[in-house]
Chain A
Amino acid sequence: MTDVIDTLVGIAPGSKLDAIRANRSEARKHAQASYTSLFEPRDPGSVTADERHAIAAFVAGLHGEPKTDAFYAAKLPAGLSAAVAAEVAAAKSKGPYGRFPKGPLSAEDAPGPTWKVSDAGRKALGSRLPAAFEHTHMLVFHPRDAAAPALQALLNAGWSTTDIVTISQLVAFLSYQIRVVSGLSTLASSL
């Protein structure tokens, strides 16, 4: 079984980074198991493979880490590639921004926009994905702005409570995987 992080970083068996990752063999194995359970699930429930890959390509596009971006873009259903690329271009931002609970931390507030899918994107992405993309943008760039109404918007778009858990894990896991790939690539180039 190919390890996605090893593949994307270019960690060869027997290399120094291979040995370092082997010291955290459970983390290595279960980071890969997280990937498998999100993208090759035993029980996909009601989140389809195309939906999972569309959200993943959007997350990777927003991060702009070249190797993960190319990896997830390649898994997109052909019909969605142009639409996802257009939304990524329109949605890309800097983070993390957002407001804190009212009080002493308000001095640190960095308010920013709540992003919306374009009309063209709405047509191309179908009934449920636009709400998922809008939620994803918040999770990626301004997670501290999260609030219950954001989850109600997902429920209203036709996602179930369990779907929301899966989608949230997918975006959150990728936020981890992409940073590991970025960080280990930097480390690899300085060994």
Chain B
Amino acid sequence: MTEKTLTPPPHTEPVVFTRDMLDWLPWIEPMAEQDMTERHFTSLVDASRVKSPYFRLLARDPDVLEARTRTDKDIFYNPEAGLPRAERELAAAATSRLNGCIYCASVHARFAATYSKRVDDVQRLLDEGVGAKLDERWDAIVAASVALTALPITFGPQHIERLRAVGLDDAAIADLIGAASFFNWANRLMLSLGEPATQG
């Protein structure tokens, strides 16, 4: 029997990039909590994610979800060396801005603003897009994220040189590559399996 997509309940679609908290409404059916096995619960990694329709949908393929989530957490949360966390989040927000994922951009712009305390610069990235002028270091990080996200991929030695010139070492550059690349994964899931909605 052919399954049907879901019709989201009445909601307001966000039409600008924002740091506000948003909801996410799935277009296909997440797992029901009562149908989830131990394996499905484990794949969420954080037990509280059982409340999220996004994670209960991805739990339909639990091995991939768990591996995705553990990759994500190490790229963004591992505090050891490399790129400061604020700037990993900046790369995530810039990638999401370019791909057009309003939901992902909202989450990671909030994190970037919180860790960096540069609320106005983060908001300018959301408002003006990836061409916004922030400062030399942030512009180099955004430009590298853009070059990794574009197709064909245009990331080249000139981006590495520019990142080194603003103070990134090799470990930081590798983190930036990880963060921007990971959001090319996350954006595609968020954009294609459901839609954002404003809260309240």
- Seen from chain A, the residues whose Cβ lies within 8 Å of a Cβ on chain B are 16-17, 20-21, 23-27, 29-31, 33-34, 36-38, 41-43, 45, 62-65, 93-96, 98, 100-105, 108, 135, 138-141, 143-144, 146, 148-152, 155-156, 158, 160-162, 164-166, 168-169, 171-173, 175-180, 182-184, 186-187, 189-191
Q: Dominant SS at the A interface?
A: helix
* A42→B63 contact, CB < 8 A: yes
Closest beta carbon of chain B to A133's beta carbon, Å: 15
Apart from A100-B100, A166-B61: 8 A-B pairs, beta carbons within 8 A: A20-B174, A31-B67, A43-B63, A96-B149, A105-B15, A146-B192, A169-B58, A176-B181
* B70→A37 contact, CB < 8 A: no
Closest beta carbon of chain B to A68's beta carbon, Å: 11
Residues of B in contact with A, size category: 35 or more
Name 16 A/B residue pairs within 8 A (Cβ), A-sorted.
A24-B178, A33-B63, A37-B64, A42-B63, A95-B151, A96-B151, A104-B16, A135-B192, A143-B99, A168-B188, A168-B189, A179-B148, A179-B155, A183-B177, A184-B177, A186-B156
* B170→A152 contact, CB < 8 A: no
Closest beta carbon of chain A to B31's beta carbon, Å: 9
- Bound form: Cα–Cα A172–B54 in Å: 15
* A171→B71 contact, CB < 8 A: no
Asked, given contacts A21-B174, A24-B175, A34-B64, whether A176 binds B182 with beta carbons under 8 Å apart, the answer is yes
Residue among A27, A96, A156 making CB contact with B74, cutoff 8 Å: A27
Closest beta carbon of chain B to A40's beta carbon, Å: 10
Asked, given contacts A30-B67, A179-B148, whether A104 binds B15 with beta carbons under 8 Å apart, the answer is yes
